[in-house]
Amino acid sequence: MRDVFEEIFALHGREAVDPAVAARRNMRALKRRFYEEVAVHDDPAGFVVVLDGRPIMTPARRALALPRRPLAEAIALEWGAQSEFIDPATMPMTRLANTIIDGVAVAADELAAEIRKYLGSDLLCYRAATPKALVARQSLHWDPILGWAKSALGAQFVTVKGITHARQPDDALERASALIPRDLWRLGAVHAITALTGSALIAIAVMRGDIGVDAAWAAAQVDEDWNVEGWGRDELGLKRRAYRLAEMQAAAKVLSEIGPQY
């Protein structure tokens, strides 16, 4: 059964799968559901999901063990919801767990450095000059998060109009970087949210429980929503957005179940 897991998820680990690419790949590679019963068992390594009594393994042959039972139950729901074929594109929690166990464990320092790099060019710091309605919308969603960073972290970030790089104060970067988690599950979830939103500040605020996932998602989508209102939304765009939102919700659930880091 390990070989089946590898075939199903080997291409869905740390790679961010575009829904269109995934759809084409899935038409060729989807595997039939091969199990009847899904359950969660306690294990010395954590909480594991079993299919017909056999534990799921990651593509790298590590135990898919979760640190909290609700996370294992979320994965069990994903596997239980599969019908005739197993579609990894509908299993964001399973994909994130695979990523953390197989990928984050061997690249923690690199991922922490990448989050810090995002802090140096955070989405929230680069503002439109026009039109006024977009400027106001960015301020509405982004200023409270920058205000939170100043009051809660003591990190005052500067904003600029346009996309020309602005160097952030060293003190702000140090204070915010001190909140980058080192444990694998929080780190993997924070990195996922950072990559999805373009903002490490949003990810850290979600980790601490100082902003909800809905508000975080709305802040991350300000520019995209503005463009959609002007140009309309296509079907592929809707699929991409739904896929990314599911990834965001999975990462936020990991953070909420494990608990905040202060």
At 188-217, the pLDDT tens digits run: 999 999 999 999 999 999 999 999 999 999
pTM of the model: 0.89
> 27 pLDDT exceeds 50?
no
Domain boundaries, the chain: 2-105, 107-258
Q: What is the pLDDT of residues 104-159, one digit of tens each?
A: 989 999 999 999 999 999 999 999 999 999 999 999 999 999 999 999 999 999 99
Architecture of domain 2-105: 2-Layer Sandwich (3.30)
The CA distance from 4 to 60, in Å, is 12
> 26 pLDDT exceeds 80?
no
Give me the pLDDT at residue 20, please. 42
> Residue 19: which pLDDT band, with cuts at 50, 70 and 90?
very low
Q: Is residue 63 classed as helix, strand or coil in its secondary structure?
A: strand
Decide if domain 107-258 falls under CATH 3.90.950.10: no
Which tokens in the block code for residue 129? 């000059």
φ, ψ for residue 85, nearest 5 deg: -120, 155
Cβ atoms within 10 Å, residue 250: 23
163-172: Cβ within 8 A, 24+ apart: 163/126, 165/121, 166/125, 166/126, 167/120, 168/119, 168/120, 168/122, 168/125
The CA distance from 52 to 41, in Å, is 12
Taking CA 100 as the corner, what is the angle to CA 185 and CA 23, rounded to the nearest 5 degrees?
Answer: 130
Give me the pLDDT at residue 7, please. 52
DSSP annotation of 221 reads T
Same fold, 2-105 and 107-258: no
Cβ atoms within 10 Å, residue 82: 18
Q: What is the pLDDT of residues 220-232, one digit of tens each?
A: 999 999 998 888 7
Residue 1: beta bridge partners? none
By C-alpha distance, which of 200, 195, 193 is closest to 173?
200
Give me the pLDDT at residue 11, please. 41
Give me the pLDDT at residue 2, please. 45
Identity (one letter) of the amino acid at 256? S
Cβ atoms within 10 Å, residue 47: 20
